[in-house]
Amino acid sequence: ERLVNEFDFLVLPRPGYHVNDLATFGPRMRWLVLPHGFTLIESTHSSTEVRKRAQHDWAADPDDANQLRSLEGLVPLGVIGFMLRHRLYRELAHPNEQRPVEGRYGW
């Protein structure tokens, strides 16, 4: 509740969900209005599905997760690249493995 009262939130419409009045969720909710010429990539897939597929890929191939091929077409290629570089969701497939401590600059 404190966050909702102290910060502005930009809200994106989600396919399959309709909201009549954002104010019912808090005083500082605003619809995100994209500048002319900008578009969003919409998907009906959930982040849970992305994590599940990534976990499966990391479990099958602990070194490079088969390049997260199961995510192709689900998320943009740039996102897949980021996930591979930072080994996102690898710990879901290998929970007992310690992650290296990141340095000052995040690597």
Q: Where are the domains positioned within the chain?
A: 2-31, 47-93
For residue 36, what pLDDT is reported? 93
Q: What is the pLDDT along the chain (107 residues), one digit of tens a residue?
A: 888 888 999 998 877 788 999 989 888 999 999 999 998 877 777 889 999 999 999 999 888 888 899 999 888 899 999 999 999 988 888 887 766 555 554 54
Q: Whose structure tokens read 């930009």?
A: 10
For residue 63, what pLDDT is reported? 86
pTM of the model: 0.58
